[in-house]
């Protein structure tokens, strides 16, 4: 009987951790997240990371010129402020152990509708307002050469001529990868506050019992508290 209980316990433990311990498929992603002690960037995910520490080397020197086969400087070097946001997005996609919660069922190396906070998108838009780009959708609008490297098809124009505002930018730069959340708490902003939001966002869909509004309330209260205590 005791033996059975132990087996059952580990079976439950295994299924519950298994579900969470997952990375997006393909590309540079590990099979499972694990700690990375020597991250150069993306340190938000050091404790549990879907990228190897060596991946982050290419993000460590500003201006970032190239990440894997993608050139970031096709319309000139990014400003430091704009680059910081690009890095946050790159780090989330490559390294976050939670990204797979929003895995795109049609394309398992990709994500869909990850809820971003409105203020994060607005700040990002502001940070890039003096930068230029030649694409609207980073996933579909490049011309890719035989080496898998990206080139502009169109001329470089300022971000604010390409995107109307932060919402438009967040919801179109990476196709369907991101959406702007209606909630100001149950959303990600790619910083340490995400830990609280993630906790409620990822339990919401598996626990039918807790309604969205009550988990939003709890997340908001906790984040409010965090602001007073820590920030
Ligand atoms: C990065 O590190 C991993 C594991 O340590 C290794 O398998 C991989 O080949 C490394 N990649 C590069 C580009 O060095
Ligand atoms: C972009 O940054 C690189 C590396 O620092 C530098 O060599 C290059 O001159 C910069 N390009 C422009 C157009 O400023
Ligand atoms: C996935 O593919 C199905 C069937 O082709 C399509 O109806 C759906 O819109 C696709 N979803 C996404 C997120 O691309
Ligand atoms: C942002 O731009 C979109 C697309 O043009 C528009 O529908 C929306 O109303 C704008 N939002 C704000 C807050 O200005």
For residue 67, the SS3 value is strand
Directed axis angle between helix 194-204 and helix 212-230, to 10°?
170
pLDDT per residue over 23-73, tens digit each? 999 889 999 999 999 999 999 999 999 999 999 999 999 999 999 999 999
Instruction: Report domain extents, the chain.
Output: 2-222
Output the six-digit token pair for 177.
Answer: 């990868």
Does ligand 1 come within 6 angstroms of the Cβ of 119? no
Residue 231 pLDDT greater than 90, yes or no: no
**Which pLDDT belongs to residue 177?**
98
Does ligand 4 come within 6 angstroms of the Cβ of 168? yes
Residue 156: nearest ligand to its CA? Answer: 2
Could you tell which of 37, 52, 58, 59 is best to mutate to test the pocket of ligand 1, judged by most ligand atoms within 8 Å of the CB? 52
pLDDT band at residue 230 under the 50/70/90 scheme: very low
Output the six-digit token pair for 225.
Answer: 């508290």
Does ligand 1 come within 6 angstroms of the Cβ of 54? yes
**Which pLDDT belongs to residue 20?**
63
Whole-number Å distance between alpha carbons of 122 and 85: 11
Does ligand 4 come within 6 angstroms of the Cβ of 118? no
Residue with tokens 């390409």: 162
Residue 176 pLDDT greater than 90, yes or no: yes
């Amino acid at each position: 009987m005791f033996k059975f209980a132990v087996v059952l316990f580990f079976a439950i433990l295994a299924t519950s951790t298994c579900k969470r311990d997952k990375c997006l498929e393909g590309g540079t992603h590990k099979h499972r997240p694990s700690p990375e002690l020597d991250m150069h960037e993306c340190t938000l995910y050091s404790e549990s990371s879907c990228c190897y520490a060596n991946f982050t080397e290419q993000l460590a020197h500003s201006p970032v010129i190239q990440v894997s086969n993608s050139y970031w400087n096709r319309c000139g070097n990014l400003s430091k402020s704009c680059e910081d946001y690009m890095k946050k997005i790159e780090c989330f996609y490559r390294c976050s152990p939670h990204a797979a919660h929003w895995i795109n069922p049609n394309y398992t190396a990709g994500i869909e509708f990850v809820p971003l906070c409105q203020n994060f998108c607005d700040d990002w838009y502001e940070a890039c307002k003096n930068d230029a780009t030649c694409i609207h959708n980073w996933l579909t609008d490049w011309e890719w050469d035989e080496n898998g490297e990206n080139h502009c098809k169109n001329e470089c124009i300022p971000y604010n001529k390409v995107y109307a505002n932060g919402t438009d930018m967040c919801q179109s730069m990476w196709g369907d990868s991101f959406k702007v959340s209606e909630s100001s708490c149950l959303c990600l902003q790619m910083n340490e506050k995400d830990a609280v939001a993630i906790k409620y966002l990822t339990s919401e869909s598996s626990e039918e019992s807790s309604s969205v509004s009550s988990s939003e309330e709890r997340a908001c209260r906790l984040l409010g508290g965090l602001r007073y205590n820590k920030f």
